[in-house]
Amino acid sequence: MARQRHEDGGAEPVARVVSPEPAAVARDLEDDAALRPRSFDEFVGQRKVADNLAVYVQAARKRGDALDHVLLSGPPGLGKTTLAFLLAREMGSQIRVTSGPALERKGDLAGILTSLGRGDVLFIDEIHRLQPVIEESLYPAMEDFRIELVTGTGAGARAIPLPIERFTLVGATTRTGQLGSPLLSRFGIVETFAFYSAEELTDIVRRSARLLGIPIDDAGAEEIGRRSRGTPRIANRLLRRIRDFADVRGDGRVTRELAEFALGRLEVDASGLDAGDRKILSTMIKRFDGGPVGIDSLAASLAEDRDTLEFVYEPYLIQEGFLIRTPRGRQVTKRAYEHLNVPPPPAGSRGGQASLF
């Protein structure tokens, strides 16, 4: 079967129809495709995960079998989607891409599964958001490589088993705890992503700059890597925006001085915190005496979605020691007061009233 080639060189069987994008967004999408690694050796960071997957792929290819089902978990922007495409590329397989919220009916899933060839990869992003009826339909597909087609209605309804090709399901999630045990147990390979170090992000910035043709010195790359919240997606986004400042306000080169200027305009401080991070910490200090405060109360106070706070902002704030979770709620640390130049409360004083989680 002929394969449509993806922009990064990997197989992509699905022609996608997208709405017209603004020029800057379209350019960013093209850049993302250009930056995607073509081998495990090119994948920077997450070495344990990448090295393990390389072994599993080599073993599956040696046996002439499909790769076992893979679950990739971790905060957004750490490379789960990139590794899914890389797995398909290394297996020499096609990849079909969808997401949990996009699969609304059993027929949607059945249509995808019946179109897969032997060894192909089905990538489901946000797999924790699958509807229960869709999740249940995946069980026989993952375990026995069959689906059930229901014909008729009422008392005359019949379930007809239909075999499908052996395929590999790659699921990506930021919330492993929301996956049901029956689904979780069917993944033979489970890998968890961690935040990247500043050194790894600096390497990613250098590589991205080279591929995009952006002149950058080591100091400029280090400054961007240090402020990227441990996240490659953010590092590449900052690099592209700093390139804009370099083209307009400089001579096109990204130096430490230019990077510091641009990051200041983008409101990304020396610790990598942006305006949203600082607003969270400031609100907790000013309105809740530093906490503890429940996540719902905090979300209401910020007019922000609870999930955004819990899965986008909190992980990095906790990782960097600005925030902690306690049995009574979230609480800022001494480092948060110091970072915002706010005097900490007197020793032994108690925070405001806490809400439960």
Residue 343: what residue type?
P
Does the annotation mark 125 as catalytic?
A: yes
Q: Which two tokens stand for residue 269?
A: 């401080």
How far is the C-alpha of 171 from the C-alpha of 190, rounded, in Å? 10
Residue 126: what residue type?
E
- Three-class SS of residue 125? strand
Q: Which two tokens stand for residue 73?
A: 């978990």
Does the annotation mark 233 as catalytic?
A: yes
Does the annotation mark 192 as catalytic?
A: no
303: left (phi over 0), alpha (psi -120 to 50) or beta: left
Q: Catalytic residue among 81, 173, 202, 333, which?
A: 81
How far is the C-alpha of 79 from the C-alpha of 138, rounded, in Å? 24
- Three-class SS of residue 212? helix
Q: Catalytic residue among 125, 241, 255, 330, which?
A: 125
Q: Helix H segments across 227-304?
A: 232-249, 256-265, 275-288, 295-302
152: left (phi over 0), alpha (psi -120 to 50) or beta: left
DSSP 119: T
CA separation, residue 339 to residues 145, 179, 181, 257, 282 (Å)? 54, 36, 41, 22, 10
Q: Catalytic residue among 82, 168, 174, 255, which?
A: 174
Q: Catalytic residue among 36, 80, 241, 330, which?
A: 80
CA separation, residue 231 to residues 36, 45, 197 (Å)? 15, 10, 9
Consecutive H or E run containing 199: helix 198-212
Buried b (16+ CB within 10 A) or exposed e, 87-105: bbbbbebbbbbbebeebee
Q: How many residues does the chain have?
A: 357
Does the annotation mark 174 as catalytic?
A: yes
Q: Catalytic residue among 166, 186, 233, 253, which?
A: 233
Strands 146-151 and 158-163: what pairing?
A: antiparallel
Nearest to 121, CA basis, from 264, 250, 257, 14: 14
- Three-class SS of residue 232? helix
Q: Is 107 exposed, middle or buried (0-12, 13-18, 19+ CB in 10 A)?
A: exposed
Residues with active-site annotation? 80-81, 125, 174, 233
